[in-house]
Every structure is written in C-alpha cells, then in structure tokens.
Structure 1
Amino acid sequence: MNTVAVSPVLPVYARQDLTFVRGEGATLVDADGRAYVDFLAGIAVVGLGHCHPAPLAAAQAQLERLWHVSNLYWSEPMIALAERLSDRFGGARAFFCNSGAEAVEAGLKYARKATGKPGVVSLTGSFHGRTLGALSVTGQSGKREAFEPLLPHVSFAAPNDADSLAPAITAETGCILLEPVQGEGGVHELDAGFVAETRRLADENGAVLLFDEVQTGVGRTGTFFAWERLGVRPDAVTLAKGLANGLPIGCLLVGDEAPEGFAPGDHASTFGGNPVACAAANAVCDELTDDLLAGVTATGLALTAGLRELPRVREVRGAGLLLGAELGRPASEVVAQCAGRGLLVGTAGESVLRLTPPLVVTAAEVDQALGTLEEVLA
C-alpha cells in the first residue's frame, strides 16, 4: 500500500511504506495481513508489548467513567500515579504533560525558576526533543542548524569527560542536563564516575541536576529509573515513552529535597494528567515487578551476546533492552532489509542499529530477530 503520494500529513517523518492495523505483544500486523516482530516498540514506548491486557483494561474502564477533567481540579488516576512515581523516586512531586519534549521544557523552566539562573549545560550527542527549548539543549548540530538562533545560555560538554564538564559551568548555570544512556545519539551509556562528578558539580554550583529519562526510564534499562544503575540521584527527572505503554503522557518529577520552583500559574498543560493515560500508566507501574525488571536485564544480556556474534557488528552498546549495534555499513539499509524479512528495528545515527524491543520479549523472539539480522548482515 503506497500512501506517500496521497497523504495530507506533513512530511516531518521519513516514514517507511508500512501501515499497521493491529498488534499484540512483540508482533505487529500490517494492512496486508503480514506479521512483523517488533524490536523497536514504538521507539521504546510499548514496554509491555502491544495491547497488553493490564493497561488496556485500565484505559477502557477509565473511558467509561471520565475522559478529561481540567487541571483546575483533581482526578483519582492522576493522584494515584503521582503517588506511585513519588514512591519509586524516593519522594518527589509530579507535573504531568503529554510527551518527552514537553517534560523537558517543564524541567528547563523549573530549573530556571528554582535557581534564578538561565544557563544550561548539556552534552554533545544528546537528544532532548524538537520543541524550541528542548532543541536548544540537544547536542546534535544537524538537528539544530535549520532553526538557529536557538535559546541562549546553553553550553555543551563531552560525555564521560569530566575535564570538559567543569569549564562549561559558569556562575549563570542553573541546570545540568543529561541522559543516562544517549539513545538518539548512538546509544552511549554514561559512566557512573562521570555522572557522580556531575552531581558534585551541580551541588557545588547551585545548579539543578536534571536527568532526561524519557527513553531510559520505566524499566527500559532493567531498573525503573536508569539513575538507579548509576547510584546517583538527580534533583529532577523526565519520563514519557513507556510510562503509559503507548498512550500520550509525559512527566517531570522533582525530588522532595530539590529546591522549590513552580508556584500556581508558572506552568500548565491542558491535557496533562489525562485520566485515561494516567489509568494506563498506573497499570504499567503495577506490572513492572522486580521479576519483570530482572528479566529485562537477563534478556538484554542474551540479546547483547547474540548481537556480538553477528557478522559486521563492530560494537554493542547500551543497557537492558536499550541497545545499539555499531555496524560497518549504513544502518538505514539494514533497517529496510530487516523490514522486508518481517523484523522492525531502527537507527541511532548513520551506522548504529537501535534495538528497543518490548520488555516482555520472549527468548524465541530474540532468537528469531538474531536469525533475521544474521541473514541481512551476512
């Protein structure tokens, strides 16, 4: 089905000519009835797999009660989700929105209000979204150039290079922003020592340490928050993607020990905290048991080992089920050839294959994906 020539959708995505009509677990089915093994999961979104019965039932039940209520009032699903996330963080307050970029924007505003300082230090290779503020702190020139000049007072340090981090911080720095694993930037995990140094420098300079866990959070790396793996608690963290297993939601969590910031009227989101999305997110949180998270770690190790045995794979990076395979050829070619064989994967740079399967992917599905990749890369 070729829809490219007739679609009235703005061409901001380089979409493949695939139209999907249903999904279950790690399987998607296209309009022609062909099944695909989904090792992209909406780019780390459907962590529990497509149409998982728990968030599905929660969303359906909530739809029958209440779809929307203004944020002038409270809703039970929003309160419950804030409590769950606060417990996971170890004490925090939540602002709910609809996407990762929106959560990052909220984090930037919070840091400026809390510290009174406009400066942000981010990392080269980072990706924080495509809205104007989030793009301004994204460390990829190719994504920034067409929209410059962007926001001022932003500087970039090299990841895992403490020597470049300290000089980037000035008296006007109010926020240090990082992804525990750079997803879009090639799947590079930050070292625990480097992250600990960012914590020290943030404290020393009165800056908010903000972790962008839009992609790494909600179990993707084998712990609910990726910062748990690193042993460094941020002042604030953003979540989105996997939080409601595919329904639009974003969140900024501000730790109870972080400086005061927002007051009524400082920020808002009309659809933020939507009861249906929050109901689904509550179900997701309930499903992310210790056993499931341990399975993410184990499956990630098995997938990593299998990828390292494949031809033309030079390096495998990442954590849990957020993995990148450095190839000796353009990754987009491999993506297209895999799709032709019924496997969906993505890219994270010119030569990096990105794999973010559902957290519940089975060993048989891992073996099937590795077999397809072996055929394509041979």
Structure 2
Amino acid sequence: MSHLFPTYARMNIEPVHAEGCYITDKTGKRYIDFTSGIGVCNLGHQPPSVKSVIEKQLNQFWHVSNLFEQEGQEVAAKSLAEAAEMDSVFFSNSGAEANEGAIKLARKATGRSKIITFEKSFHGRTFGAMSATGQDKIKQGFGPMLEGFVYVPFNDFEALETEMGQDIAAVMLEVIQGEGGLYVGSELFLKQVESLCKQYGALLVIDEIQTGIGRTGKPFAFQHFNLNPDIVTSAKGLGSGLPIGAIIGKEYLNEYFGPGSHGSTFGGNPIAISAANQTMKEIFNQEFLLKVNEKSELVFSLLQSQLNRESIVKEVRGLGLMIGIELASPVQPLLTVLRERGVLALPAGDTVLRLLPPLIMNKEELEEGITIICNTINEMVYA
C-alpha cells in the first residue's frame, strides 16, 4: 500500500539515475527523455555547471529568510528583468504561486477584480490559478471557484472584444497553451490583445511557466511576437529542477508590491537561486539560443519528412523545442509503446503528443528519438 495520495497517473517506471538527456530505471532500462521533467530540465539532468554552484551554496547557507539582503537574488532578478526587458522581480517556489501573485498584483494595481483568460488554458492548481484556468476538468469537485474570471476562446479576438470593458483588471494568457494541447497564439491575435489591454487600461499578463527560459528559442515566447506585457510569470526551466518561480513586472508596479503586500517564506531560496543564476547564464546566451532554433528546424523537418500521410496525425504545431503532434485517436496507447521502445514523451490533452526535449539534446539524439516516434506513429494507421 502506498501512503501517497493517488493524485498522479504515474508511469510504471522508477528512475534510479538521470544524466544529460537520459533516464535509467531500477531494471536498468535506459530511456531518451523527451519530457525534460515537464519542461523543467532544459539543460538536461544534472547539468555539471549547475550542480557545481548548488554544491558551493550548500556549503555557505541554505536558508536565512527574506528579511536579509541576498546578492544571489539581486543577480537573478537582474538577469530575469533584462532577459524579459522588464524591471522588477518577486521570487516564489512554483509557477502556480507566481500566477497567484500575478493575479493579486493585477487586481491591486488596477483597482479592478475581473480577469479574462482563455479556454483550454492552464495556470496551476492553487485556488486562484485553478480559477484562472479555462478547463472544467481541473476544477471538478472543488466547489465554487474564485469569482471574477471570464473565459473566451483562444485566438478569437471578437469573443475577447465582446467581454472587454473598463472593469477588466487584466487579460492573462499563454502564448502557447501547453497543457491545453500545444495551441500557438497567432501574431495578429496576440497584438490585438495587447492593443485592447492598452485601450481599456487593463494589464497584459503572460504566463511563461512552460514556454520561458529558452524553450521556444528566445528567453521568453512572447518575444517572438514583439509583445510588451505588464507582467510575466516564470518557473519550470528557471531552476534546472530546483523549485523556483518568479513574477516579472514593469517598474510602475513597484508601488503596489511594497512591504507586507506579498511574501513567501521559501521564495528565492539561496540554493534554488544559485541554480537559477547558472541556468540563466547558460540559456540566455545568444549562441545557445541560436542552437535551440537550429534544433527546432531539424525536428520539424524530421517530422515532416518521416510522418506518413496515411498516419493518424492531424497536425504538427509548436515553437522552438515545444512540439505538439495532434492525433486522430487517443494519445495514451502511443505513449505506452514509446516507453517500451525507450522514449519518454508527454500528453497535452487527450489526443496530442507533447515533446519537450532538453535544450542540450544533440542532433544525433534528436534524430534517434524522432525516428522512433515517427516509426511508431506510422504503425498506428487506421484499421
């Protein structure tokens, strides 16, 4: 009997070692990892440079509380702010916490309470973040949600415009809806959202929990579309596996997040901050990001050339190394066969195969994994 709540539909795999782009289970079987810990291990498992700075921090101090000045936090905040072309940062422990803080900040800064989000969005499982999420299945059984959220179809400007008004505090969106099925926002739609927010004095809040920290070939996905958000949230890939999240905002928001307005005992923990600083140092390097874009071109080219027209694939979409393959049938059977063949991948909804390889995966590893994936999909033709 397990003493864990059964909140996860776990794979029948127990890792005993993970390094680079591979995971080894307790039977000795080795898997090539196209999950990156759900978009967390962007530098792969146990990146040596990150491990080194963590070990150094372990020998200095682990926790002193946010009542003390900490140089590491200042360095990390500067790196995040500059990468996002913004100004101020608050550190949390997770993406859900970052989104909770963003909701608080948007409401306080505008004096309004209504927030528009999108159908099929996912913003987390705490009450505010869950309320912001545009998926009913996430909310079932938990009673009334936090009031004030309005949900409209993604990429539908007319629907958004109908709901927009002087009572809207913010529009909150993912540039790519990760959990909802790897739906990419159109450039026209995203620019229209930004313009509408400015027209009504609402804040543009962009959830970059999964899309940020180099995943799409830029520091943040919104930069592909030249957007100018008021608030950006980040987590997942920020700490290379250590728990850390962040709210990044414009300078004018500082007055609304003064002493006593928000806080977190463990937010910006020194060990997590050390990991984040080294992670950003490597990923925010232009040469590194150029290689991510080159790898993305390779992956999409391989998928286009290797997937048979007779296969069950309806669409391939995504950006950078965040890829969705929509099937005409449920994705779980495919995931099971891929695991048997030594490839780990993820679902995004019921029918989308989600690929999130480590950003460090080399050409040979990408070709090997994509070939196995394509061959397996090609076998799943209509009967």
Question: Normalized against structure 2, the TM-score is what?
Answer: 0.95
CA contact (8 A) 1:127 1:185 kept: yes
1:256 is displaced (CA, Å) by: 2.1
1:259 is displaced (CA, Å) by: 7.3
- Name the residue aligned to 2:280: 285
Structure 2 CA distance for aligned equivalents of residues 318 and 253 of structure 1: 24
CA contact (8 A) 1:186 1:352 kept: yes
CA contact (8 A) 1:192 1:231 kept: no
Once the two structures are superposed, residues 307-335 of structure 1 have per-residue CA deviations (whole angstroms, 9 ceiling, x without a partner) of: 23323222111100111001122111111
Once the two structures are superposed, residues 130-149 of structure 1 have per-residue CA deviations (whole angstroms, 9 ceiling, x without a partner) of: 11100101011121232231
The letter for the 2-side match of 1:244 is: G
Q: Structure 2 unaligned runs (5+)? A: none
1:276 aligns with 2:267: no
- Name the residue aligned to 2:325: 325
Structure 2 CA distance for aligned equivalents of residues 270 and 150 of structure 1: 26
Structure 2 CA distance for aligned equivalents of residues 313 and 210 of structure 1: 33
Once the two structures are superposed, residues 55-81 of structure 1 have per-residue CA deviations (whole angstroms, 9 ceiling, x without a partner) of: 111111111101111111122211110
Q: 1:53-64, aligned counterparts within 5 Å? A: 53-64=48-59
- Name the residue aligned to 2:296: 300
Structure 1 CA distance for aligned equivalents of residues 196 and 253 of structure 2: 15
1:164 aligns with 2:174: no
The letter for the 2-side match of 1:360 is: I
Structure 1 CA distance for aligned equivalents of residues 338 and 168 of structure 2: 45
Q: Which sits farther off after the overlay, 20-29 or 100-109?
A: 20-29
- Name the residue aligned to 2:245: 250
Structure 2 CA distance for aligned equivalents of residues 49 and 259 of structure 1: 35
Q: 1:213-362, aligned counterparts within 5 Å? A: 213-258=208-253, 260-288=255-283, 289-308=285-304, 309-310=306-307, 311-362=311-362
- Name the residue aligned to 1:105: 100
Question: Normalized against structure 1, the TM-score is what?
Answer: 0.96
Structure 2 CA distance for aligned equivalents of residues 20 and 255 of structure 1: 41
CA contact (8 A) 1:26 1:361 kept: yes
CA contact (8 A) 2:84 2:219 kept: no
CA contact (8 A) 1:80 1:282 kept: yes
Once the two structures are superposed, residues 7-66 of structure 1 have per-residue CA deviations (whole angstroms, 9 ceiling, x without a partner) of: 211111100111101111110111122110000010110000000011111111111101
Structure 2 CA distance for aligned equivalents of residues 266 and 37 of structure 1: 44
Q: 1:164-203, aligned counterparts within 5 Å? A: 164-203=159-198
CA contact (8 A) 1:220 1:359 kept: yes
Structure 2 CA distance for aligned equivalents of residues 169 and 160 of structure 1: 15
The letter for the 2-side match of 1:90 is: E
Structure 1 CA distance for aligned equivalents of residues 44 and 171 of structure 2: 33
1:258 is displaced (CA, Å) by: 5.0
1:85 aligns with 2:106: no
Structure 2 CA distance for aligned equivalents of residues 171 and 196 of structure 1: 19
Structure 2 CA distance for aligned equivalents of residues 131 and 256 of structure 1: 27
CA contact (8 A) 2:34 2:358 kept: yes
- Name the residue aligned to 2:149: 154
- Name the residue aligned to 2:116: 121
Structure 2 CA distance for aligned equivalents of residues 136 and 183 of structure 1: 17
The letter for the 2-side match of 1:121 is: I
Q: Which of 201, 210, 216 is residue 205 of structure 2 equivalent to?
A: 210
Structure 2 CA distance for aligned equivalents of residues 305 and 168 of structure 1: 40
- Name the residue aligned to 2:91: 96
Report the RMSD for the aligned CA atoms in angstroms. 1.2
The letter for the 2-side match of 1:323 is: I
Q: How many residues align?
A: 373
Identity of aligned residues (%): 39
- Name the residue aligned to 1:136: 131
Structure 1 CA distance for aligned equivalents of residues 131 and 30 of structure 2: 39
1:16 aligns with 2:11: yes
Q: Secondary structure of the residue that 1:21 maps to in structure 2?
A: strand
Q: Secondary structure of the residue that 1:136 maps to in structure 2?
A: helix
1:257 is displaced (CA, Å) by: 4.8
CA contact (8 A) 2:91 2:244 kept: yes
Once the two structures are superposed, residues 161-201 of structure 1 have per-residue CA deviations (whole angstroms, 9 ceiling, x without a partner) of: 11011111233210110001000000011011111111111
Q: Which sits farther off after the overlay, 116-125 or 289-298?
A: 289-298
- Name the residue aligned to 1:371: 371
1:159 is displaced (CA, Å) by: 1.1
